[in-house]
Amino acid sequence: MIDVDRVGIPRGHKGVPTLPDWLTYLESLHPKTIALGLERVAQVWQRLNLQPNFPIITVGGTNGKGSVCAMLESMLHAAGYRVGCYTSPHLLDYNERVRIGKTQANDAELCASFEKIEQARGNISLTYFEFGTLAAMQCFNKHKVDVAVLEVGLGGRLDAVNVFDSDCAVVTCVDIDHTDYLGDTREKIAFEKAGIFRSGKVAVFGDRDVPAAIVNEARRIGAVLWRIGSEFDFQLPSPVGGRAGEGGVAMERASSSLTLPQKERELMQWDFHGLKGTRNALPYPALRGNYQLNNASAALAALDVLKDKLPVSMAAARRGLVEVTLPGRFQMVPGSPQLILDVAHNPHAARSLAQSLVEMPPCHKTFAVFAMLKDKDIGGVVRALKSQVDGWLVAGLNVPRGVSSAEMALALAGEGVEARAFSSIENALQHACNEASENDRIVAFGSFYTVAEVMRARGLRHA
């Protein structure tokens, strides 16, 4: 056991650091919450000799990373593999970030991993995320996983996850977000995200609008680029029994299919076409939203890349798509009025959320419970969604990067939208529940923190 007095880790009532103690300590280690760069984390990685002997799939992108990771984890798990999955951020508990065999790592093994990293790092300063990334890989090594799925935290090129070489890289999409760190144009951001590509390895890109930087970086380093709409794609049956075609037509059919009753929609199927073959009659992913077919296709393309090492049968792919879960992604909470949770926190994600709302059966009124962080484009999110919202209820987030309720209301006023401000997410949610009739709906969105607060207020846990 390390000398907790020496390193300054808070101690639990028995004198041994608990997981909350460790997390408090990690937050104080580095002067910046985000400090991009691989030099420090690579030094500690080498000291720990964290050499994985299993395939790695690294997943980046502006939005959809969590969905692709969840689908890969679910399909590989259904195929019988022991899967290590590392994602961020978490909603309710840190343990959500590290899963082995679809089971969250327990406090004891996370604490043990943190202790080993603390012993190895010496005077090297690591951020909270860098510490967590190394700890996740230690857990995966300990459990001798068959494959690891790693979600990029921010960007890609300089993200801590990128210290590990992947056997396949996936970039879901590229749009404007985190401009302070990644650049203020789509091409600059694409360059950063393409940093997870590897020479001689396949890089999967899941957005039909391909930035030049994605193509140029793949060519420069010698990665093999697979693009949706080119090297792989999905296709839907037409309502009259013909074929709906690929690309934009397929997406149009995907959108229209979501207006059907849920039971009828679940009976519809789709096909995946890739360089390694076709998977026909696939079920819709359990994750809602028409954009999930893009994410599912990117995940299936990644499985094609590794099919010689990790074959996944049709039965396992189907089961994985049906059983996948991911809280906070157009998550519908049972009850009346209807409550929808979505972590949409940038304009790209907000446009997808707006489209999903359009495709739902009509309702009388839609109330928004809305809170965001300071470094996000509040106006862009409001513009994407204001045509779908009848009443805006804003609150502040009680975190260092949180925007106050007064600032939120001012930002909405700047977009010509009137909002009511509340002291907390819980109060905003309670007001929405009081105002809404059984034929109305409430949508809570804007941040992982926003969704987490609503989940706590409603006593919701993960599936």
For 228-297, the DSSP string reads BTTTBEEE-B-TTSSB--SHHHHHHHHHHHTTS-HHHHHH-EEEEEETTEEEEEEEPPSS-STTHHHHHH
Classify burial at 315, counting beta carbons within 10 Å of its beta carbon; exposed 0-12, middle 13-18, buried 19 or more. Answer: exposed
Q: Are residues 255 and 369 in the same domain?
A: no
Q: How many domains does the chain have?
A: 2
- Cα separations (Å) of 352 from 88, 223, 255, 290, 394? 20, 30, 11, 8, 21
Residues 280 and 304 in one domain: yes
Give the model's confidence band at 462: pLDDT under 50 very low, under 70 low, under 90 confident, else very high.
Answer: low
Closest Cα partner for 460 from 341, 354, 359, 380? Answer: 341
CA 258, 366, 264 angle in degrees (round to 5)? 20
What was the pLDDT predicted at 143?
97
CA neighbor of 418 nearest in space, from 394, 402, 395: 394
Question: Are residues 61 and 106 both part of a single domain?
Answer: yes
Higher pLDDT, 244 or 177: 177
Per-residue tokens: 328: 């906070």
Say if residue 264 is in the same domain as residue 341. no
Q: Are residues 268 and 380 in the same domain?
A: no
Here the tokens at position 67 are 């969905």
Nearest CA to 233 among 245, 222, 219?
Answer: 245
Mean pLDDT value across residues 26-53: 86
Query: What pLDDT is recorded for position 180?
Result: 77
- Whether 463 is in a domain gets the answer no
* 253-262, 362-371, 382-391, 437-446: least confident range: 253-262
- In angstroms, the Cα distances linking 75 to 98, 288, 299, 438 are 17, 17, 9, 37
Say what the pLDDT of residue 461 is: 77
Query: Is 462 domain-assigned?
Result: no
Q: Residue 242 pLDDT more than 70? A: no
pLDDT recorded at residue 28: 86
| Same domain for 306 and 429 | no
- Residue 184 CA, chain-centre distance (Å), reads 21
With respect to residue 367, please indicate whether it lies within any of the assigned structural domains. Answer: yes
Q: Are residues 274 and 400 in the same domain?
A: no
> For residue 267, what pLDDT band results from cuts at 50, 70 and 90?
low
CA dihedral sign of residues 190, 192, 196, 198: positive
Q: What CATH number is attached to the domain comprising 447? A: 3.90.190.20
pLDDT confidence bin for 32, thresholds 50/70/90? low
The pLDDT score that the predictor gives to residue 15 is: 67
Q: Give the C-alpha distances (Å, rounded to integers) separating 294 from 34, 171, 220, 384.
A: 29, 11, 26, 20
Query: CB neighbours (10 Å) of residue 242?
Result: 8
pLDDT beyond 50 at 414? yes
Residue after which a domain boundary falls, among 323, 344, 360: 323
Q: What is the pLDDT of residues 101-144, one digit of tens each?
A: 999 999 999 999 999 999 999 999 999 999 999 999 999 999 99
Residue pLDDT, tens place only, 273-327: 999 999 999 999 999 887 899 999 999 999 999 999 999 999 999 999 999 999 9
- Both 419 and 394 in a single domain? yes
| Residue-range definition of the domain harbouring residue 46 | 4-235+242-323
Last residue of a domain, one of 294, 323, 352: 323
What is the pLDDT averaged over residues 49-73?
96
Q: Are residues 164 and 304 in the same domain?
A: yes
Among 323, 354, 385, the domain-final residue is 323
Judge whether residue 352 has pLDDT over 90. yes
Q: What is the pLDDT of residue 265?
A: 56
Kindly state whether residues 312 and 340 are assigned to the same domain: no
Q: Which of these ranges, 3-7, 212-216, 299-303, 332-336, has the smallest mean pLDDT? A: 3-7
